[in-house]
Structure 1
Amino acid sequence: MTPANPMTRRKDRIDDLAATAGSDRAAAVREAGSVDEKPGVSLIASAWQRLRRSPVFLIGAAITLVFVVLALVSPLIAPHDPAANLLLDQVRPQSNPIPGPQPGYPLGADDVGRDLLSRLLVGSQQTLIVGVFATIFGLTGGMTLGILAGAFGGWVDSLVMRIVDVLLSIPSLLLAFSIAALATRPSQLTVIIAVAAVQVPIFARLLRGSMLAQRHSDHVLAARALGVTERAVVFRHMLPNSLGPVIVQSTLVLAVSIIDAAALSFLGLGNPNDRQPEWGQMLGRAQPFIYDNPHLAVYPALCIIVVALGFTLMGESLREALDPKTRR
């Protein structure tokens, strides 16, 4: 066999090295360019992934859930009738005006012998009713004004916003007090209307701002270019994409509504019938006994504080999870 030419051997060796280097480089490129394909997630699913790891949200949701469940089942689990004067025979204005804790009455009774624990449990239902309906009415009125201002713009926007500015210039509790005082007979309905009126300008300004941001977005401009009617643009494109901040705000407003409703009842502008207990009403009735029997005021006050805290923690966590600017 004729020995290979040195030049041929060198050429073969260079070709082998080039082939090996090329295959390794191609493999490296293929490995570096490979991407693990994962399905995309929606904004709600992404927010839930963060919320379920947030201790603040979990604490707020737990408090809110306990409050709602207790309010719904309170008439069934209350140990006694909250309007029955079961310990009236133990009420002695001079020596024992407030019956203390005893078997069957773990928190004692009030100044007319009614079980305090039962009144706290049933009072949670009245507080929930006022908070929820005041928020719903305020949300409805605010959305109406916000849609008018955000959809039409121009003089309609100016007129609605000047009304909103006037309402926002008045302190919320003072405005609610003034509206409730106009009623000839205070009732639970007057409290709901007064508290709802305070929330209307908040929702209106928030929704109006969100809709104005959507007004010049690409999908709205494309819908108008395709000849979609203005009504369809507003209710099918602008409004659904503007509701996120409003829904989050409604969670925070629930806490404010509960506090405002309790304040009105405390001032005597709530339901005058104390046979239907409510936490703010109970707090007001406890004032003559605050020095000798502070627990009559401490228990309903703690209930108001804890429930308002639960809604606030949950609402703040929702806002952080859904807002791209504060998302963590």
Structure 2
Amino acid sequence: MNLISPKKTRIDTLAASVAEVEVAEAGTVRDTGGESLLAGAWRRLRRNPIFLIGLTLTALFVLLAIISPWLAPWDPAAQPLIDKVERQSNPVPGPEPGFPLGGDNRGRDLLSRVLVGSQQTLVVGVLATLIGLAGGLVLGTLAGAFGGWVDALVMRIVDVMLSIPGLLLAFSLAALAARPSQWTVIIAIAVVQIPIFSRLLRGSMLAQRHSDHVLAARALGVRPASIVLRHMLPNSLGPVIVQSTLVVATSIIDAAALSFLGLGNPDDRRPEWGQMLGASQQYLNEHPHLAFWPAGCIIVVALGFTLMGESLREALDPKSRR
């Protein structure tokens, strides 16, 4: 029968850990250095297989989008298979030597269009996220820095925007444009993301207003603008930056949805994955591969950004550290 209490065992463990502290000389403890927040987060992320998978998928997507014009065997607007397009019995050419994925209903190489379409998808997702982030930073900074009636006014506007489903709001904004284009999709998606960033930044800045370093700066007579821009805002950007990685995935999916509904760039000479999905719906029963490749690419890319963003959030969250 073990008569040693758990409390005594814990005390012995703590004493053993204290004994392991490196001592340079009698009465002096050797400085082993500390660990910053980013260094600790990176140490945890390097051992996280989910983050490594997401980072690999995201890096491959970005690399593919950059070098896609050189990888594509054909011009995405060229029609090398137009002579094989038979309007009645076989409107979509199948795979053949030189065309591993076949062609579309206009005789264009499907592989080239999928490769080049990654570039347009990346541009839409990143620009929509950056514009939404910029707008959210402005509103969130105003609400978190001033408080009072400014905070109440900004948050009521944000609440109204959040009360409307995101895709419905983006669809309504894109439909207001006289001529659909790639920029209408970018602006519509960016507006939807603004309240997400602004609410998140506002919460972080309100937590910073009563922190010790902000109170010390006020006691020393530092100007309010310097306190906001040099102390509160930089220390509040961590959750916002992590959220931006998740928003890129959402932006790519929303952009594909708007392009699928015909609200994207009408010029199909510059392919985009959502646009390719919309063009393939009339051939979905007989030629499902026209939709399979762009849809699969959208799913894989969104998964990569989501895995990476969730891993970053867990690594930077103090409650999830072990």
Q: TM-score, normalised by structure 1?
A: 0.90
CA distance in 1, matches of 2:214, 2:184: 41
Superposition deviation, residue 33 in structure 1: 4.5
CA distance in 2, matches of 1:96, 1:266: 24
> What residue number does 1:166 align with?
160
Matched, 1:35 2:29: no
Equivalent position to 2:47, from 48, 53, 56: 53
> What residue number does 1:253 align with?
247
Q: Which runs of 5+ in 2 are unaligned?
A: 1-14, 23-29
CA distance in 2, matches of 1:163, 1:325: 31
> What residue number does 1:15 align with?
none
Q: TM-score, normalised by structure 2?
A: 0.91
Matched, 1:233 2:227: yes
CA distance in 1, matches of 2:321, 2:248: 23
> What residue number does 1:288 align with?
282
Return 93-102 or 193-202, whichever deviates more: 93-102
Deviations 1:210-268 (A, max 9, x none): 00000011110110010000000000010010000000000000000000000000000
Q: Which runs of 5+ in 1 are unaligned?
A: 1-28
> What residue number does 2:90 align with?
96
Structure with higher Rg: it is 1
Counterpart of 1:107, as a letter, is: L
Superposition deviation, residue 325 in structure 1: 1.2
CA distance in 2, matches of 1:217, 1:286: 55
What is the DSSP-based 3-state SS (H/G/I as helix, E as strand, rest coil) of the residue aligned with 2:179?
Answer: coil
CA RMSD, aligned part only? 1.4
Superposition deviation, residue 327 in structure 1: 2.5
> What residue number does 2:210 align with?
216
Matched, 1:307 2:293: no
Deviations 1:144-182 (A, max 9, x none): 000000000000000000000000000000000000001
> What residue number does 2:146 align with?
152
Matched, 1:185 2:171: no
Q: 1:97 to 1:223 in 2, by over 3 A?
A: same
How many residues align? The count is: 300
Matched, 1:120 2:106: no
> What residue number does 1:82 align with?
76
Q: Once the two structures are aligned, what percentage of the paired residues are identical?
A: 74
Counterpart of 1:260, as a letter, is: D
> What residue number does 2:136 align with?
142
Moved runs in structure 1, 4+ residues, more than 4 A? 31-34
CA distance in 2, matches of 1:166, 1:85: 48
